[in-house]
Amino acid sequence: MEKVLGDDYYNGGQTVVGRKVDSLRGELNNLQKSVSNISERLTKLESGSQSQAAEYFANVATIDTQLQSGTTPGNPRLIKRLSVARNSLEGLAGNVASLNDLAIEVANADSVAGFLLESVRATYSLSGAIEEDHAHLAQLEDTINNTAVIVDRLQNNVNDDITRTVSYLGTERNNLRTLSLAVTTGDLFGKSLSNRPFSGAQPANFSPEGSSLTPMPNGGPNSGTSAMSGGAPRPLVKIRFDKANVAYEQPVYMAVNEALQRYPNARFELVAVHPAGGNSAESTIESTRARRNAEKVLRSMTQMGVTMDRIDLSYMPSADANTSEVHLYIR
């Protein structure tokens, strides 16, 4: 009886699976340290950008105030303020380069998290494990999932910062050129006209029914397949996230590129699709997963050069979906 219920059963030593768990835990610790470092650097960059933006606007506001009140052409005080404002703006441009470096590191961290998650799931099937090994694997899987959520948030934050700052820099560089002319002449101008080149443009008049942009499993973007079937719109691209790393970038790029060639003023809609059915908790989990995947596709599209104001986001359940999907439509 002592042999059956005693400590002998639990003192078998470490298994091969147990050593694999220790190895995965070490890799996870390295990943968490890397993510923490990226988060700290992002916080410092954001703080520095805020300070530079505040300094820029303080100098621009001073120049505008003096121009509004009346000043002399080529006022050296205003020229000095203009130089400081320009330096602040270039400092922000330097931050964009640092943010791009962070974006690469976050993408690498996301890949590592996906690899670790797949490794943990594969380890469950290894022979020679004891009960404690599987309990440790379950804990490790939960921790990796939590880390992946943090990485996703970092990706969103970095990408948002890059998009915002690049747009801001383009606008303010144009405004600064106009302001420089105002200081030279001593006259007050408004915002740069180059910031609104399409203010008088009319909306594009096209019909999605005529589109042939449907990179589906049976045809690429040049396949000639109709984008509509029975009156129901078909997506340009349908991405099924049924594994850790889905290579969706190339078909998305091809579809968007061809769409913009045909309809330069086109808008796009990203729809996060999750399986219908199940209880409310399962539905919530699947909906969250689908939205996170849609955010990944959104990040890729903005990196390809599609601006945020041309992309609409939505989500919906689908009885036909067995896993998280993202559909891309042209509007």
Higher pLDDT, 103 or 12: 103
Q: Of 82, 62, 330, 50, which is closest to residue 215 (Cα–Cα)? A: 330
The number of domains in the chain is 2
- Assess whether 98 and 172 both reside in one domain: yes
Task: Show which of 195, 218, 250 is a domain's final residue.
Answer: 195
Alpha carbon distance 91, 52 (integer Å): 7
* CATH value at residue 299: 3.30.1330
- Assess whether 190 and 213 both reside in one domain: no
- Assess whether 167 and 230 both reside in one domain: no
- Assess whether 242 and 191 both reside in one domain: no
- 277 Rama class: left (phi>0) / alpha (psi -120 to 50) / beta: left
What burial letters (b/e) apply to 199-211, b meaning 16+ CB within 10 Å?
eeeeeeeeebeeb
Residue 114 lies in a domain: yes
- Assess whether 170 and 256 both reside in one domain: no
- Provide the residue range defining the domain that includes 165: 2-195
Which tens digits make up the pLDDT trace of 95-113? 899 999 999 999 999 999 9
Least confident range of 40-49, 161-170, 201-210, 282-291: 201-210
The pLDDT of residue 329: 92
- Assess whether 27 and 158 both reside in one domain: yes
Q: Residue 328 forms beta bridges with which residues?
A: 237, 270
Task: Show which of 195, 223, 253 is a domain's final residue.
Answer: 195
- 61 Rama class: left (phi>0) / alpha (psi -120 to 50) / beta: alpha
Task: Show which of 195, 223, 250 is a domain's final residue.
Answer: 195
- Assess whether 146 and 273 both reside in one domain: no
- Assess whether 153 and 41 both reside in one domain: yes
- Assess whether 146 and 101 both reside in one domain: yes
- 13 Rama class: left (phi>0) / alpha (psi -120 to 50) / beta: left
- Assess whether 241 and 176 both reside in one domain: no
Residue 168 lies in a domain: yes
Q: What percent of the chain has pLDDT over 90?
A: 28
Alpha carbon distance 218, 154 (integer Å): 36
- List the structure tokens of 310: 């041309």
- Assess whether 249 and 116 both reside in one domain: no
Residue 96 has phi, psi (to 5 degrees) of: -65, -40
The pLDDT of residue 25: 92
Cβ proximity of 95 and 45 under 8 Å: yes
Residue 110 lies in a domain: yes
Measured CA distances, 196 to 127, 167, 178, 192, 273 (Å) = 65, 13, 14, 8, 35
Residue 202 lies in a domain: no
Average pLDDT over residues 157-167: 88
Which tens digits make up the pLDDT trace of 48-86? 999 999 999 999 999 888 888 888 888 899 999 999 999
pTM value is 0.63
- Assess whether 158 and 262 both reside in one domain: no
Residue 170 lies in a domain: yes
